[in-house]
Amino acid sequence: MAERAIVSETTGTVWKIEAAPGDRLNDGDTLLILESMKMELHVVVEDACTVVKILVAENESVREGQEIAILDED
């Protein structure tokens, strides 16, 4: 079990959460969607993983570098 935090690469608002704790994601799957400067930015996973925890809620503001989720890369 190798847990890893995912951080926001930009300041914005959580528009939609696409995954929940316990969900198994594959390379390229969307974790959540951020809205920043009127653009939708998909936060995608780069490797197969399991979502351990989502640290933000829809409509919540996030800042660059803020942890937004914890994944288990098994």
Whichever domain contains 50, its CATH number is 2.40.50.100
In angstroms, the CA 31 to CA 71 distance is 10
How many CA within 13 A on the CB side of residue 51? 21
pTM (2 decimals)?
0.91
In angstroms, the CA 69 to CA 6 distance is 5
Under-50 pLDDT residues of the chain:
none
pLDDT of the residue at 74: 74
pLDDT of the residue at 52: 98
Widest CA span in the chain: 37
In angstroms, the CA 74 to CA 2 distance is 6
pLDDT of the residue at 68: 98
Looking up tokens 């974790």 gives 31
Host domain of residue 37: 3-72
Q: How many domains does the chain have?
A: 1
